[in-house]
Amino acid sequence: MRAHRIAAAVAAALTVALVVLGAAVRATDSGLSCPDWPTCYGHLVPLPGDIPAEAGYAYYQVMLEWVHRLIAGVILGPLVLLVGILALRAGREHAELRVLGILAILLLLVQAVLGGVTVLDRNSPWSVAVHLITASTLLTVLLGIALHRPAEEHGVRDRTVLGLAVATWLVGIVAFATAAVVAKTGTNLACSDWPLCEGRLWPDMADPQVHVHMMHRIWALFAVLMAVVFAVVARGRGHPAGRIATGAAASGIVAMLFAGWAILAEWPAWMQVVHQAIAVFYLAHVAAAGWMTWWRWQHRLVAPAAREARGVAGV
């Protein structure tokens, strides 16, 4: 395995961990426990005595936010930069890989700026949503580099499977964004029951909180349905991405059922974190299946030249 693939795979795993940790920060209301940036209460490493009593935060909340920043800035940031450089070097004969390397570096810079904006804008819903979308896009790019295959290993690019992968990913990104808005606007329990909302299939959307909540439900359901169709089509066409797509569909269904349970349990913090973890696994599976199609991993759809060669050989 090439160095850029290994580095990208490690960076992708760290990105998943960071998104889940971000959910823990959000679920425990720790997002503003470090009110300044890039320091925390004016210190690179805040100690219990550095936190004023009037701040209103426990030390564990400060540490959650601080560790989130530490992993992002000190570990993941340099690693993504390394991935970008390695991809640029490895992709001298593959323009698409070079593009992904550049994208990884650009997204890293954007994400660093957004991290500061999110804090300085006091975790506004729009900034949190954009921050999460950028992280999800970076994860997708890293998976693309990790799953890259050289031209000599290419099979046939199945455009139907690829189109479904892209569509499913886009819908998943919208579902992610609406989830962030729901979390930051405190509308998790705007509908106190599930699968109905206040006993109705289609509640009164004039209530802005119900409207925000229902938009996420609709997009999440759409994302799950898209993943199911994606998995069925990919497996039916014998594509190796079919198994990964099935994982995406399963993750989406579990996330949806878990959300219903969490609503009935009034969304305790641990359930918010677990729900986010399942959702990011869903998106990672969708992205991985899409890249397997884009990089034309070998599968049963044999290229025309190969079919002709087999015919000549009497196979």
Give the model confidence (pLDDT) of 24-59 as tens digits. Answer: 998 898 888 888 888 888 888 999 988 888 888 999
Instruction: Reply yes or no on whether the pLDDT at 199 is more than 60.
Output: yes
Please state, in angstroms and rounded to a whole number, the distance separating the CA atoms of residues 136 and 295: 20
Quote the mean pLDDT of the chain.
87
Q: What is the pLDDT of residue 300?
A: 42
Mean pLDDT on 152-162: 74
Buried b / exposed e along 22-48 (16+ C-beta atoms within 10 A): bbbbbbbebbbbbeeeeebbeeeebee
**pTM for the complete prediction?**
0.87
CB atoms under 10 Å from CB of 96, counted, come to 13
Separation of alpha carbons 97 and 109, rounded Å = 19
Q: Which one-letter amino acid corresponds to residue 41?
A: Y
Q: Cα–Cα distance between 300 and 140 in angstroms, integer?
A: 26
φ/ψ region of 189 (left if φ > 0, alpha if ψ in -120 to 50, else beta) reads alpha
Q: Please report, rounded to a whole number, the percentage of residues in the chain having pLDDT higher than 70.
A: 90
- Give pLDDT, residue 267: 93
Statement: residue 297 has pLDDT above 70: no
Query: pLDDT digits over 206-260, tens only?
Result: 899 999 999 999 999 999 999 999 999 999 988 888 999 999 999 999 999 999 9
Specify the residue for token string 């601080």. 66
Task: Say whether pLDDT at 191 is over 80.
Answer: yes
pLDDT band at 280; cut points 50, 70, 90 = very high
Nearest-10 Cα torsion for 221, 223, 225, 228: -140
